[in-house]
């Protein structure tokens, strides 16, 4: 597709091929009429314009909703060329809210960095119909990718709404639990991620053959996959957990109970793997003696607490599934290949996870002759499948893997996620010293009484002019979801809710 700028009666218009994307007589008026025809009754926090062409739609939206932020997404790199800026400018371009192919960032990470978390609420997607006719499948593909990304962001936001208070309480409590933080560096040694899908069982037998080799890949297991590994005498180097729900503790209790303290454990922490823990994850108090790699989601309140108490951390956006966070961390830890096994996002009939699985015990405790185990397993499988999260996360992996060609490989599991299958097993070159982790413990100075000290810090920061607005938005989403921040008593109630966490 070839684009060109053409002078018009009141500015410029753009042609994509032989189709004009704007009125040749009054492009600004045309844009204003189109925005009025949408009958937008309220201002949204974000407007996303799908291939708006030049900046006329953006100007019309800014005029009507001055407090909203506007993202423009383009089908062609033409709109990013500096020589064209004088023709249309645009606030989105100058504010870093404009995306186009070749801009240096993939579409999904671009959107996630902007509107994940509290900012994920209040998003309105607007298409410019002349662009659909002009760009055809390219425009439809952009619309589909954007809609899929927004569905995932919205799913994460709903999770925040339902579990926000628990997450905040977990973070404050973890100030006391994460006593042995580690600093991190990048290495080159291959790394294997063990997710907990049913296909993990297929790979475990082969893993036993190389699990004791000095130069074997590092093994990172999601917490729910650890019992299956330990059952086959495979000790992971890292265990990653990001779930803030109480059920996540079942998996970690198994790790605390079953992992031996023997000379065969990883050299960096005899007897214990590293626990890579989300700052808001539910952690048992027994893990205060474990070496910890702290994961932060980039929110201000988390960074404020971690930096003040001198706890080193690495930042990744919220993903909604621990397998996605594991992939983020793996790509951060090593420049070598990353392998994934047990990544299914699907069931094998009634089998939802690799066995043994910690929550099976909880499932068995509720069995009776009126609710046999088979029926409960079927009901659980139906609920998980009906939630739709499997499809959302599978679509994310398919897109994300395309951003790292030659880096990510699959060992079994689903073949439709866009992740190439490892052709001849895993590379085991390199030395055991290339762990990708700095094994030196961080020199933190954390005061006692983490919860009270953390709440006091946040209350003080809420009165700080430079942090107040963002903290109100973040903490309000966690403690008062759905309540308008403009209400007169919102700020006072937010402080009251925060104070109550000291006694909760």
Q: Which domain holds residue 486?
A: 446-500
Compute the Cα dihedral for 234, 340, 345, 331 and give only its sign.
positive
Q: Which residues, listed in sequence order, are joined to residue 20 by a DSSP beta bridge?
A: 15
| Residue 254, number of CB atoms within 10 A of its CB | 19
- Domain total for the chain? 3
> Is residue 437 packed enough to be buried (19+ CB in 10 Å), middle (13-18) or exposed (0-12)?
buried
**What is the token pair recorded at 374?**
């088979």
Q: Do 346 and 234 belong together in one domain?
A: yes
Written as tens digits, the pLDDT of the chain (504 aa) is: 688 888 877 778 888 988 999 888 888 899 999 999 998 877 788 999 999 988 889 999 999 998 888 999 999 888 877 555 545 556 666 677 889 998 888 888 888 878 865 444 578 999 998 998 899 989 988 998 898 888 877 777 777 677 888 999 999 999 989 888 888 888 888 899 999 888 888 888 767 566 556 567 889 999 999 999 988 888 899 999 999 888 888 889 888 888 865 444 443 444 689 999 999 999 999 898 899 999 999 899 999 999 998 899 999 987 778 888 999 999 999 988 899 998 887 766 667 778 888 777 666 666 777 777 667 666 666 655 655 566 666 676 777 777 788 898 988 777 777 788 886 555 554 444 455 555 555 555 455 567 889 999 999 999 999 999 889 988 988 888 767 666 668 889 999 999 988 776
Q: Which residues, listed in sequence order, are joined to residue 63 by a DSSP beta bridge?
A: none
Q: Is residue 233 part of a domain?
A: yes
Q: Do 46 and 188 belong together in one domain?
A: no
Q: Is residue 379 part of a domain?
A: no
Q: Do 399 and 288 belong together in one domain?
A: yes
Among residues 281, 280, 305, 295, which one has the least CA distance to residue 454? 305
Q: Do 409 and 277 belong together in one domain?
A: yes
Q: Is residue 487 part of a domain?
A: yes
User: Residue 128 to residues 30, 34, 104, 121, 131: CA-CA distances in angstroms?
Assistant: 11, 9, 24, 22, 6
Q: Is residue 165 part of a domain?
A: no
Q: Do 176 and 311 belong together in one domain?
A: yes
Q: Is residue 162 part of a domain?
A: no
**What is the token pair recorded at 185?**
């560096």
Q: In this predicted structure, what is the pLDDT of residue 271?
A: 61
Q: Is residue 422 part of a domain?
A: yes
Q: Do 93 and 193 belong together in one domain?
A: no
Q: Do 426 and 475 belong together in one domain?
A: no
Q: Do 450 and 409 belong together in one domain?
A: no
Give me the DSSP letters along 149-174: HHHHHHHHHHHHHHHHHHHHHHHHHH
* Verdict on whether the full-model pTM lies above 0.85: no
Q: Which residues, listed in sequence order, are joined to residue 419 by a DSSP beta bridge?
A: none
Q: Do 328 and 295 belong together in one domain?
A: yes
Q: Do 397 and 249 belong together in one domain?
A: yes
Looking at 419, 441, 463, which one is the last position of a domain? 441
Looking at 441, 460, 485, which one is the last position of a domain? 441
Q: In this predicted structure, what is the pLDDT of residue 74?
A: 92
Q: Is residue 373 part of a domain?
A: no
The three-class DSSP label of residue 46 is strand
Q: In this predicted structure, what is the pLDDT of residue 386?
A: 56
CB-based contact 280:244 (threshold 8 Å): yes
Q: Do 121 and 227 belong together in one domain?
A: no
Q: Is residue 148 part of a domain?
A: no
Looking at 79, 108, 135, which one is the last position of a domain? 135
Q: Do 257 and 319 belong together in one domain?
A: yes
């Amino acid at each position: 597709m070839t684009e060109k700028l053409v002078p018009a009666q009141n500015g410029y218009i753009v042609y994509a091929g032989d189709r004009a994307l704007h009125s040749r007589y009054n492009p600004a008026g045309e844009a204003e009429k189109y925005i009025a025809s949408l009958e937008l009754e309220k201002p949204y926090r974000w407007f996303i314009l799908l291939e708006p062409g030049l900046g006329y739609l953006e100007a019309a939206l800014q005029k009507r909703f001055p407090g909203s932020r506007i993202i423009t997404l383009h089908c062609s790199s033409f709109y990013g060329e500096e020589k064209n800026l004088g023709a249309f400018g645009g606030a989105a371009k100058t504010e870093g809210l404009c995306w186009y192919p070749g801009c240096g960032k993939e579409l999904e990470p671009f959107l996630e960095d902007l509107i994940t978390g509290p900012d994920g609420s209040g998003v309105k997607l607007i298409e410019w119909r002349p662009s659909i006719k002009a760009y055809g499948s390219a425009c439809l593909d952009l619309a589909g990718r954007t809609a899929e990304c927004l569905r995932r962001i919205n799913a994460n936001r709903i999770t925040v709404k339902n579990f926000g208070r628990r997450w905040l309480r977990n973070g404050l409590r973890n100030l006391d639990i994460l006593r042995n933080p580690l600093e991190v560096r990048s290495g080159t040694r291959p790394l294997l991620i063990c997710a907990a899908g049913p296909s993990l069982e297929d790979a475990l037998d082969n893993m036993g053959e190389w699990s004791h080799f000095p130069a074997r890949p590092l093994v990172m297991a999601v917490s729910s996959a650890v019992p299956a590994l330990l059952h086959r005498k495979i000790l992971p180097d890292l265990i990653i957990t990001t779930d803030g729900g109480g059920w996540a503790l079942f998996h970690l209790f198994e790790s605390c109970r079953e992992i031996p303290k023997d000379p065969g454990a990883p050299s960096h922490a005899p007897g214990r793997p590293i626990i890579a823990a989300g700052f808001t994850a539910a952690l048992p108090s027994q893990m205060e003696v474990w070496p910890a790699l702290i994961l932060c989601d980039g929110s201000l309140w988390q960074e404020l607490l971690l930096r003040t108490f001198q706890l080193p951390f690495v930042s990744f956006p919220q993903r909604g599934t621990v397998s996605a966070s594991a992939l983020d961390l793996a790509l951060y830890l090593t420049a070598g290949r990353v392998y994934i096994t047990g990544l299914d996002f699907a069931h094998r009939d009634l089998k939802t996870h690799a066995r043994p699985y910690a929550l099976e015990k909880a499932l068995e405790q509720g069995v009776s002759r009126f609710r046999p185990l088979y029926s409960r397993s079927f009901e659980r499988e139906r609920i998980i499948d009906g939630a739709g999260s499997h499809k959302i996360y599978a679509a994310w992996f398919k897109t994300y893997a395309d951003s790292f060609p030659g880096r990510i490989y699959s060992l079994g599991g689903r073949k439709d996620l866009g992740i190439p299958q490892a052709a001849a097993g895993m590379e085991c070159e390199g030395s055991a010293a290339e762990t990708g982790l700095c094994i030196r413990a961080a020199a933190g100075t954390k005061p006692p009484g983490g919860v009270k000290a953390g709440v006091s810090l946040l209350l003080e920061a809420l009165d700080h002019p430079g942090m107040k607005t963002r903290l109100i938005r973040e903490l309000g989403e966690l403690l008062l979801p759905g309540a308008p921040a403009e209400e007169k008593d919102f700020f006072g109630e937010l402080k009251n809710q925060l104070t109550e966490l000291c006694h909760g």
